[in-house]
Amino acid sequence: MTDYIIVGAGPAGCVLANRLSENPANSVLLLEAGGKDWHPYIHMPAGFAKMTKGIASWGWSTVPQRNMKDRVFWYTQAKVVGGGSSINAQIYTRGNARDYDAWEKEEGLAGWGYRDVLPYFKRAENNQRYANDFHGDQGPLGVSNPIAPLPICEAYFRAGQEMGIPFNPDFNGAAQEGVGYYQLTQKDARRSSASVAYLKPIRARKNLTVRTDVLVTRIVVEKGRAIGVELVDRPGGEKKILHAEREVIVSSGAIGSPKLLMQSGIGPADHLKSVGVTPVHDLPGVGSNMQDHLDLFVIAECTGDHTYDNYAKLHRTAWAGL
């Protein structure tokens, strides 16, 4: 019997699997719908350009967006060990400190103010450049500056400063405003995903089992308590039930977590009934209040050969790869 079942091996699931299995008395089962993170593009930082085109993702798109002339957008969400950290742009950003403070002060989320979460960020980090009030260098997650910046970046920063925008060497430090280099979740020029940082070093732990290609279809609730999960472990296969002695942890992502909760009857009861799901726990907030950011690109033509664009030619890509 397993003590903890964790659904979803994204960053949240990988970190929890690592921390919970630190205690050899706990048995931990980590379930992931996607496969292993074997693909070489995952580990090569520049492979990101290919990731958003569908490798290791669910293949979802949005409903037509009524404020954008009903356009339908690709909505990339990871389906692989490491979750988003295996396919994302590797920008090391914590967001704005004031957002955390607003969660605490305006929404009443005790313990989520920036001063409360900062020690956890520091504990996670193996920052190759900073060790100070905002950064740690002893954690598992590799964080570093870009290793091959181009002169055009410096020209852009100078132009920003000429317009009065300050140069900022650290967007996760005292202030977020300014122009400068992002730090990246990379170590020694390789992606430092949650899988690489939190699972790889503990492969030998006997009390942690990681199962891939397992789709959890429902959380099993008995007498108001989550006691296990229902899953399918091969396409077209029969549903099986696994029991958790202590806890079921839902770390299935911004879309996957509410989806799984709602499939399990946890969510707004009236809505669940209207789509044929029997409610087991009326929880109105589930499946709403999503906040996300759009990516906007400004594309400009350069006066010469100043960017990485040149490497889009096959022979130069091969050379850069070597």
The least distance separating ligand FAD from the CB of residue 244, rounded to whole angstroms, comes to: 14
Distance of alpha carbon 234 from alpha carbon 67, whole angstroms? 40
Amino acid at 313: K
Q: Which segment (63-71, 88-96, 139-147, 314-322) binds ligand FAD by CB under 6 A?
A: 88-96
Examine residue 83 and tell whether it contacts ligand FAD (CB under 6 A): yes
Examine residue 91 and tell whether it contacts ligand FAD (CB under 6 A): yes
Among positions 93-112, residues that touch ligand FAD (CB under 6 A) are 93
Examine residue 18 and tell whether it contacts ligand FAD (CB under 6 A): no
Examine residue 31 and tell whether it contacts ligand FAD (CB under 6 A): yes
Examine residue 241 and tell whether it contacts ligand FAD (CB under 6 A): no
Examine residue 128 and tell whether it contacts ligand FAD (CB under 6 A): no
Helices (H), the chain: 11-20, 40-43, 48-51, 84-87, 97-105, 114-124, 151-162, 194, 253-263, 269-274, 314-321
Binding residues for ligand FAD, total number by CB under 6 A: 33
* Between 91 and 150, CB nearer to ligand FAD: 91
Exactly one of 2, 21, 27, 85 binds ligand FAD (CB under 6 A); that residue is: 85
Counting DSSP H helices and E strands in the chain, the numbers are 11, 14
Q: Which residues of 151-176 are buried (b: 16+ CB within 10 A; e: fewer)?
A: eeeeeebeebeeeeeeebebbbeeee
Exactly one of 6, 33, 124, 280 binds ligand FAD (CB under 6 A); that residue is: 33
**Contact between residue 167 and residue 180 where contact means Cβ atoms under 8 Å apart:** yes
**Contact between residue 197 and residue 17 where contact means Cβ atoms under 8 Å apart:** no
Residues that bind ligand FAD (CB under 6 A): 7-13, 31-34, 52, 76-80, 83-85, 87-91, 93, 215-216, 251-253, 256, 260
